[in-house]
Amino acid sequence: MVMAKKRIVVLYGGRADEHSISCISTAGVLAAMDTERFEPIPVGITKDGKWIIDGEDPRGWNLDGDELPTVKITPKSRPVILDPSRGKDGFFAGEPDHLSNADSGFGTSFVNLSDPEIHHVLTSLGHVDAVLPVLHGPYGEDGTVQGLLEMMGVPYVGCGVFASAACMDKHYTKVVLNAAGIPTAPGIMVDARAFTAADVVAQIEVAGLAYPLFVKPSRAGSSFGVTKVDKAEDLETQQDRVAAAIATAGEHDWKVLIEQGIDGREIECAVLCPKAGDEPEASWPGEIVLDHQNDDQFYDFDSKYMDASASHVEVPANLPVSVLEDVRDVARRAFKAVDGAGLSRVDTFVTPDGTVMVNEINTMPGFTPISMYPKAWDATGVGYTELITRLIEGVLK
C-alpha cells in the first residue's frame, strides 16, 4: 500500500533583514527534503509582508550571484489567503494579481482592499499537514507566525510562541537563562530612542564592563547592526564611539544591548528535539574559523553569508572532549530553560579556563550551504535529509 505524501507548507522570505538568508536556507531545505514522503508547498513572503505562491522557484537560489535573492510578485504568482477558522484546510490562493475573475461563477471571491473594484477567486491549496517556517528574524522567528499557526491549529516545526519570542530578544534570553543559573555575557540595555552618550558611558562604568564592547540590536539576527567599540584615550571620543554604535544598532531595533567582549572562543551547538516532551539531543559543537585574521575582524554578516572564503566550519571544534561535552550540556540546559522545541542553535563562549556561557539562541538557525546547524548534525551522524525528515515527522499528528 502506497502511503499518501504529507503536504508541508514551507514558508520563506519575510519582512526581516534576514529575508534573503531565509530564501537561500529554503533552497537548501527543498533540495534535501525527502519527496517520497513529503510534498512541499513553497509559500513566499515578500519584504512588505505579502504571501504568495508560484513565484520564482527558490530551488534555484544560492550565494553565488551578484545579488541576494528576494521574494517578488511575478506575473504567474498568486496571493495566498488564510482562513484561520478552517485550520489545516484554511490555505487558499487567488489568481495572479493582473487577473480579475469576479464573474467567473466558481470558487470563493474576496475583494482586493487596495483596489475594491477588483475581486479575486480563491482556490484551496488543499489539506496541509504541517508548516515548516524557514523564517529568520522578526515576523517569523519571534513568535508571530507561530501564534498564527497556533490559532489555526496547524502543526509547525520549531519553537513555540514563548521560546521564539524570548530568544528573538537577546535581553530577555539573558533574563531567562540567568534565572536558570546559566551564565551569559555581562551587559546593559539601552533605549536608542532616548539616550545621552554621557549617561550610557557612565552606565558602562557602573556595570564594570570591560572593553572592547559589542553594541548590537536586541531583536535582530545575522549580525546586522553590530559594532565593536574599543577603549578610547579620552572621554569625549569614547562617548562619540558609543553613540555612533548605538545609532547603528538603533537602525534595526530601538532596544540595544551593550555587552562586554568575552575573551573566549565562539562555539556553536545544534540542538534537536523533533517531538515535544522528548529529551533534546545536542550535536558535536562546532566553530566558525575566520580565515583572514586581523585585530578588528569579527564574525559579521558578510563573513557568515557573502564571503565563503572568509571562514570555514570545524566540527567538532578543536577543544578537549571534556569541554565539548560541557558545551553540549549547557546547550541542552539552555534549550530546556527557554522551553525550546524542534530545533535551535545555541551559541556559546568558551573562556580559557573552560567556562561555558551562552551568547544567544537561534530558534530557526540558517540552513544555507555553509550554515553551522546542518553541518554540525552531519558531523554528528545525522544527514541533511534525515534531519529535515525527523523535524517534520516530529510534529505530524
List, by residue number, the catalytic residues: 18, 222, 371
Q: Copy the grid coordinates of residue 32.
A: 534535501
Determine the Cα–Cα distance for residues 356 and 354; give it in Å rounded to an integer.
Answer: 6
Q: For 387, phi and psi rounded to 5 degrees?
A: -60, -50
Q: Are 356 and 327 in contact (CB under 8 A)?
A: yes
Rg of the chain in Å (alpha carbons): 22
How do 130-133 and 6-13 pair as beta strands? parallel
Determine the Cα–Cα distance for residues 170 and 346; give it in Å rounded to an integer.
Answer: 12
Residue 125, SS3?
A: coil
Q: Are 307 and 292 in contact (CB under 8 A)?
A: no
For the annotated binding site for ATP, the residues are 170, 214-216, 222-223, 259-266, 359-360
Determine the Cα–Cα distance for residues 328 and 284; give it in Å rounded to an integer.
Answer: 7
Residues 6 or more apart whose Cβ sits within 8 Å of residue 280 = 271, 272, 273, 332, 335, 336, 340
Determine the Cα–Cα distance for residues 290 and 304; give it in Å rounded to an integer.
Answer: 10
CA proximity to 154, closest of 190, 127, 174, 118: 127
- Kind and range of the H or E run holding 91: strand 91-93
- Kind and range of the H or E run holding 158: none
